Structure 1
């Protein structure tokens, strides 16, 4: 397993991060979840991503239990704050009250004194940005958080946070961004990626497999396979149906010869594609079975040739979304209070 620096910070992450959105505490029971995390460790993965809102805290608890026997300094734990963790008016957002209380609750569930990376899960336009940044900075000063990041923020929002942190004289600054990014969803490329490269902010991308669509397991004109996310319980089907479609599935099957030529599985091709992007520090994979972890981790260190990359663009063509405005649509607080996004 190769490791990469998180932007220009001194922190190194494994190229593959193991994440437990929509799995631990929701689609996957305790013992299978523990087996997946053990498989991740066996594959050399050292970076683990979760959030307080995933299964309303259960995902953090399972991750903390699985990592308890592991030397704490040998792994990097990332979690997030912003989305609702209760019914009260202060159980959400990026107010000082919610950030402080949420961080302490996450540390308890994870069974650790600190998290390596603490991320604002979405932008909160209902809280003054200086209040948010000062609260995060205080957590860093207290040693409860080592590095700060954001998720699904637009380029102007990231720019505003960087400028304000400088004006306030804060010691800590944003070093990570966690956006959705895959062969089909490239909306960070026009604005977010250039800004982050200039400012030394590393990308820790989620959904590199587009909810499993890029694995090729969903066949056009056929029912979704048993056990797949599209037919699972919980919120999985709601998310996967956003990207399922006849023409899309036909095009995805056209990627199979390219994967074969690269000596990779379809899943490995999709993950390796995200890792080829300058500025991407790690790609987050999820799994319901240990063998999925092992397969996806095999994308680490894979290098795609120019011919393969050109072939991918030719196959997917106009189905690729590059509209930077879609980042704003994805992260809008008013649209995400009611759902636990990745």
Structure 2
């Protein structure tokens, strides 16, 4: 798999990242191990997790796999902190919570450092300078190599990047995770320009439009799909409208012409957008993941990219 620089840094990562959001909940340890195996065998290096995925189970499963079958040094291990879903304070970017959460993540993962540590969300109750001071402590202590943000708006990204660049010795931001796909192009308005200006690499989450761009919902809602579950129905339902359906049909037309899957078309489109380093792809099984990995050899023709750009544009003429 092709490697890319993570933003304006010397860290090289695979141009697809393996997401672990379902590990420990929808995906058990055996399936997780099979996913990690096919991902690394395909040349993938960037593994994305978080302290809250599966209530910590995702990190524990990944940590166990690292001790059993995978060489830690071959991976770029990324995790996150800030979110506290079972706490009255949903987002907590205070120094005390962040550093405690980092230590807990390292213990679950069975490693003494993270290659990339990401602030999972903005916390408007904590001064940004306190949050970023905790980031600098994590790096200077050797527990973290690079840092990033996740789900920040454009102004939040720019503010954090500017603060870190304002004084020698502060750790620059290497990455930003944001939802980005043919069905969700809002990041192009402010987040992507802020990242481009600051030299921050973009890691799109939900690059397949929460699964809708695979085409699985073209004939309705399958009984075994996320949209049919009470846990994810609202999450997926956002993209089950007429506008999204038109984009999905355009993707299907392109996939028919190229002889590849709608998934491959959608993933290749976002993977090769300006500023994007590595879309984060998740799967319930290794078989599903293989379909995403098969896009490595696909580059969309310019005319198809232009057509998809037009039909999915968030600013429509007339």
**What is the rounded CA distance, in whole Å, between the counterparts of 1:297 and 1:198 in structure 2?**
30
**TM-score of the two chains, using structure 2 as the length reference:** 0.92
How big is the shift at 1:229? 1.8
Q: Specify which structure has the bigger relative contact order, considering alpha-carbon pairs within 8 angstroms and separated by 6 or more residues.
A: 1
Counterpart for residue 61 of structure 2: 62
How far did residue 254 of structure 1 move? Answer: 3.2
Could you say which residue in structure 1 is the equivalent of 2:267?
271
CA positional deviation for 1:40 = 1.5
Q: Name the counterpart of 2:10.
A: 10
Aligned partner of residue 103 in structure 1, secondary structure: helix
Aligned to 1:192: 191
Judge conservation of contact 1:100–1:135 (CA < 8 Å) in 2: yes
**Conservation of the 8 A alpha-carbon contact between 2:23 and 2:58:** yes
Q: Distance in 1 between matches of 2:297 and 2:151?
A: 26
Matched residue SS, 2:239: coil
Change (3 A) 1:197 1:127: same
- The equivalent residue for 1:181 is 180
- Counterpart for residue 79 of structure 2: 79
> 1:7, CA displacement in angstroms?
1.0
Deviation at 1:186, TM superposition (A): 0.9
Shift of 1:252: 0.9
CA gap 1:72/1:193 in 2 versus in 1, 3 angstroms: same
Alpha-carbon spacing, 1:322–1:39, altered in 2? closer, same or farther (3 Å):
farther
Write the deviation string for residues 256-290 of structure 1: whole angstroms up to 9, x where unpaired: 12123334311111111011112111011000111
Matched, 1:297 2:296: no
Give 1:211's aligned residue. 210
Q: Is the 8 A contact 1:188 1:322 kept in 2?
A: no
**Matches for 1:132-281 after TM superposition, within 5 Å:** 132-220=131-219, 222=220, 224-232=221-229, 235-246=231-242, 248-281=244-277
Report the Cα distance in structure 1 between the residues aligned to 2:50 and 2:314, rounded to whole angstroms.
27
SS of 2:184's equivalent? coil
Whether the 8 Å contact between 1:47 and 1:76 is mirrored in structure 2 is yes
Q: Is the 8 A contact 2:91 2:121 kept in 1?
A: no
Label 1:154 to 1:314 Cα distance change in 2 as closer, same or farther (>3 A): closer
**Conserved 8 A contact 1:2-1:15:** yes
Report if aligned partners of 2:164, 2:173 keep a CA contact under 8 Å in 1: no
CA deviations 1:83-126 (Å, max 9, x no partner) are 1054365x841100010000001111111111111001111111
Secondary structure of 2:148 counterpart: strand
**Partner Cα distance (1:95, 1:183) in 2:** 35
Q: 1:252 to 1:88 in 2, by over 3 A?
A: closer
Q: Distance in 2 between matches of 1:47 and 1:263?
A: 28
How many residues align? The count is 315
Q: Alpha carbon RMSD of aligned pairs, Å?
A: 2.0
Counterpart of 2:102? 103
Q: Distance in 1 between matches of 2:310 and 2:160?
A: 37
Other-structure match for 1:48 = 47
Structure-1-length-normalised TM-score:
0.86
Checking the alignment, whether the CA contact within 8 Å between 1:268 and 1:299 is kept in structure 2 is yes
Paired residues of 2:121 and 2:151 also in contact (CA < 8 A): yes
**Secondary structure in 1 aligned to 2:188?**
coil
In 2 relative to 1, CA 161–246 (structure 1 residues): closer, same or farther, beyond 3 Å? Answer: closer
SS at 2:47 equivalent: strand
Cα distance in 1, alignment partners of residues 12 and 267 from structure 2: 19
Contact 2:80 2:119 in 1 (8 A): yes
Q: Distance in 2 between matches of 1:249 and 1:166?
A: 43
Which structure 2 residue ranges, 5 or more long, are not aligned? none
